[in-house]
Amino acid sequence: MTLFVALRAAFASVDDALGARPDARMRATIPAAVLDAVTFGRPVADS
């Protein structure tokens, strides 16, 4: 579990440094309740 958390934190840091954003295709698969509840992080890319 510790290794997973460490890798996830490293991957998130790299994504943040690159300015990567979740894609619109991913947004289509996320339930509306989750999208409404999550108010932090990078916005989902358009198109």
Q: How far is CA 19 from the centre of its chain?
A: 11
In tens, the pLDDT along 1-47 reads: 889 888 888 888 887 788 877 778 888 888 989 888 888 777 777 76
The candidate with the shortest Cα–Cα distance to 19, out of 38, 45, 39, 40, is 45
pLDDT for 47 equals: 61
Interacting residues of 45 by C-beta distance below 8 A, sequence separation 6+? 21, 22, 23, 24
pLDDT for 33 equals: 92
- Say how many C-beta atoms besides its own lie within 10 A of residue 45's C-beta: 13
